[in-house]
Structure 1
């Protein structure tokens, strides 16, 4: 009999599976990709300490550790339905139905699309797809590209593409529209980027970015922003230019752009064409939480966490008995945070399964503290107000699902 089914073989899912298996639980992991690792497979960057974070090596380490603990990992498997019968979760997959009393959803995140004219041409892809093609499949996506969309994810992958010898000609914004929302507004984009100003490539830019956090100075700075942009690792970031159309007959040949004002409005008569043979659209990330919705888990919209997230506690359990979540499904953060959350979820499942009761509470607290420590040390936050978002979910959980016993001890409302 299976004790735990984990959906998602990324950092959160593998870490959760390992924590469960270490206590003797029988674990099955399912993932639709052809190999385990999730988003780790595409990650390659240098940490502020100077050390290199190699996602492929990290995923191999987790995979080998899981295999040593007899975790059964099935890749290339799709999950299309979840339902609870009696005390068991039934998971319907492309290889048949599986059942277990405990279910961990570690489905990760997906990219926001930003539709614009010409985006169906061959050579147009999401920024995440470019990362996977380059770092996982070792395929050169093109020789000269343009990134449409300026956010932390775009800058992280820009560096990875450059390391692979791929030239990115420039980074511009999408045209302002109801679909692009804040991504097409230079003021909003600059405000979000200033939260990563400590990563600027020069002391002058870091100091200047500090002053730009003042609203008046920031608005004045946008009006004086250089037409040719400021360079990020040698690539111009042009906050005052927006993509109107991706052009080409049978494939990408360039991007039609126009100058924009500080609010993102097109300035008439300023259109021009930049040549390119591929385009990356960077819309940002949101929690991939459809399976939690199918299971019947309640949701809350918390922008600081990246969108709609399932209700969950700090110990990664949900209001539904036997259902746990970990990783980017709970809010957009790094792979290191996802692994730490996966460990917390695995320990939480271990506790509910009645294993290691003599030491499990101490282990759980240590694992939760590790999540906080990694978050505090993170050089990059995909959502700068992540702590506020986590606090909102914590308060919501306490208000809806926790009551005090006669001794004052918190208890989950079942």
Structure 2
């Protein structure tokens, strides 16, 4: 009976946990990310410091209905030069089906030709045949912003300009020399004449635009910003601006030397207690880390925690939430200054390897039970890093993390 109750509680937990990742209409949260298209080729053929040609893509996932979007993509122009971009790509996010198939297609060419005797279904009632649209319309261009924050450097070859590899004062901790100039792509793309398009809005997942840059292969951040997105309502109605605040925006770190691993390991076992530790390996700098531990409350009861060496308590706060009767524990570490307006010290951010904390559970006596299973559901793990250039935290893409989800304790 106890196991039945546990299974019901676990199912309830999983369902309610999944709901946290759904928005009101039942879709998964909308995601915007930079995808490094030729990552495998460059990583296998090049070393840090080589000159490479990057191929990147702006990608949308789980998008609501929209017909236009405005975005910015920031990059370090002292390392990379923009070569070109292309939004006329196959299977574009903004591609539409049009009024296809035709009601009557005399020559079976998929194109309405009244002189052939073709007939179509006027789905939007606009009195004309609306062809499929393969690509969006709009504009993508380079723009700049002068900040005036020029970092000093050691001019080793006395040529009067900064050259890659020369020492410099990294005032903002962004791992790159800054000449006071921000360079970024800015673009607005969308469906042309949505009143004559089937559908008038698009949704779902696909690539929006591709970007091609050349430069020095080293660790650098390609940051991403969605400025505005709109939904078409009707020909005589103003478009509605969508709420983009709940979209998940994922920048991309090129040349990232990290391959993070999060796991549990058993530490101590007595007749009535068991202690496990949460261990992290090869982590980037973290401003936040959250995960959920699940267990069978018929076997284990959460007792206490002991913070270990990875997160310094002078710089991080722990926010534990225990739901012991339901068999799960939510743990969040958050940097004390990363989400405030005050300045931050780069050295105060944890990275690399270490033990995060010990968790001690009471073992409920039962001669019939020989083991217990603890899990960290991958969907429950989220983490933020920190962009020292702009002074803001940003979410890490957990697809690049290895989460060892389960640990079995044998009594």
Q: TM-score, normalised by structure 1?
A: 0.24
Structure with higher strand content? 2
Structure with higher helix content? 1
